[in-house]
Amino acid sequence: MRRTAAAALLALLTAGCGAGSAVSDFGTVVKGVKGSTVQVELRPGQRFSLAVVDNPSVGDSWDLVEVPDAKVASFISEERQSAGDAPGAGGTTYFVFNSKQPGTTEIRLRDCWRCGQGKTPSTEESKQQSGEAIFAVTVRK
C-alpha span between 62 and 52 (Å, rounded): 8
Q: Which residue range is the domain that position 107 belongs to?
A: 23-139
Residue 6 lies in a domain: no
**Confidence band of 9 (pLDDT split at 50, 70, 90):** very low
Pick from 32-41, 81-90, 104-113, 132-141: least confident: 81-90
C-alpha span between 70 and 109 (Å, rounded): 16
More confident residue, 96 or 86: 96
Question: Residue 95 maps to which CATH number?
Answer: 2.60.40.2020
pTM of the model: 0.81
pLDDT at 38: 98
Name the helix (H) or strand (E) containing 128: helix 124-129
Let me know if 30 is exposed, middle or buried by CB neighbors in 10 A (0-12, 13-18, 19+).
buried
Q: With pLDDT > 90 as the criterion, what percentage of the chain qualifies?
A: 68
C-alpha span between 122 and 13 (Å, rounded): 34
Residue 94 lies in a domain: yes
C-alpha span between 105 and 88 (Å, rounded): 35
For the chain, how many structural domains are there in total?
1
Q: Which amino acid is at 52?
A: V
Of 58, 100, 101, 61, which Cα lies nearest the Cα of 80?
61
Q: How far is CA 136 from the centre of its chain?
A: 16
Residue 79 lies in a domain: yes
